[in-house]
Amino acid sequence: MQTKLAAIGEEALAAIQAAGSAAELEKLRVKYLGRKGVFRDVMADLKSLPPEEKPKIGQAANRLKKEIAAAIDNVKKELQAGKGPAEPTVTFDPSLPGRRPNIGHRHPITQMIDRIKDIFGRMGFSVAYGPDVDYARNNFEALNIPPDHPSRDAFDTFYFDKDVVLRSQTSTVQIRVMENQPPPVRVIAPGKTYRPDTVDATHCFMFHQVEGLYVDEGVTMADLKAVLTMFAREFFYPDVTIRFRPHFFPFTEPSVEVDVSCAICGGKGCSVCSRKGWIEFGGAGMVDPNVFEGVGYDAEKYTGFAFGLGIDRLVMMKYGIDDIRRFFENDMRFLSQF
Ligand code: FA5
């Protein structure tokens, strides 16, 4: 009986050491230790032994059972730790559909800037760019806003030092363009602008404007109204109307605020336009002769108009977006709709 036990032990331990997977180990466990396994026969054989031999052989059989169970556990741990032959963990199923890669697209504001460039481009406007960080002179003095001028409060500004700012309006580009080329000028200048405004549904500390500047002999406010009407009809819908309200900007005289008839209610009044039927979409006016003199243009010979539109709010109006913060939260559920 002892010889038989020794043979079982030798065979079992060798098979366990050679096992290459958890499944093989499980089969060996069932074969040797299972309810109908090899040790059930051993225990049955014990009954036929003389009584004085029974305890000794019984103990030896139990020791061997424990030894086999421990060997199975050890090899299992080794396999899990990656020592033994690796079990296939990733299975490739060629019948499954492929995973579509996420393809990005341009931000809605960028898409709309391209649309704005396209509309003004067809009216003969070229595109100019200026830096986000600019001299205070281009943001203020050259635009007829001296250091102590009260209107500087209206353009609350981020200063690097007293001479350098994050531009608070794209009107800086008017100066850069006019200082670099003689009239006639017909440009738009889209870009980022910055003001320390409290963030809410319609205000952000960083937003986008598009500046327009048209200087030539005989340019009038009728041209300004025609160009902005054409733009609004292309950008919003064909029968939209615009209106001018008197306003004040130091660099234009006369100055106006420009409203567009509400696209949602068609001008009747609704919650989007605060029951007014009109929504403000920017400032504009005839370039002040002081600005022309500062850049060396002949203010007797030339006249011009300028305008500055808030792009973020234009896009909000176009798509009925209720909060400017949606543009900057990077929420793909919002951005992927454009
Ligand atoms: C100006 O910035 C003038 N430079 C516009 C101008 C240009 C007038 C040329 C005359 C000639 P205003 O401060 O009103 O004007 O700003 C223009 C537009 O920018 C506003 O109508 C609004 O749409 C947008 N805007 C202003 N502040 C914010 C803000 N904090 N967040 C989002 N949009 C803003």
pLDDT of 89 reads 67
**Is residue 261 within 6 Å of ligand 1 at its C-beta?**
no
User: If DSSP codes are grouped into helix, strand and coil, which group holds residue 247?
Assistant: strand
User: If DSSP codes are grouped into helix, strand and coil, which group holds residue 84?
Assistant: coil
Residue 308 β-bridge partners: 211, 283
Mutate to test the pocket of ligand 1, among 144, 152, 169, 202 (most ligand atoms within 8 A of CB): 169
pTM of the model: 0.73
**Is residue 167 within 6 Å of ligand 1 at its C-beta?**
no
% of the chain exceeding 90 in pLDDT: 55
Q: How far is ligand 1, taken at its centre, from the CA of residue 31, in Å? A: 84
pLDDT tens for 292-303 read 999 999 999 999
pLDDT tens for 34-84 read 888 888 888 888 788 888 888 888 888 888 888 898 889 888 888 888 755
Q: How many CA atoms lie within 13 A of 187 on its CB side?
A: 21
What is 108-335's CATH topology? BirA Bifunctional Protein; domain 2 (3.30.930)
Q: Return the domain boundaries, the chain.
A: 2-80, 108-335
pLDDT tens for 124-150 read 999 999 999 999 999 999 999 988 887
DSSP character string of 179-210: HHSPSPEEEEEEEEEE--PPP-SS--SEEEEE
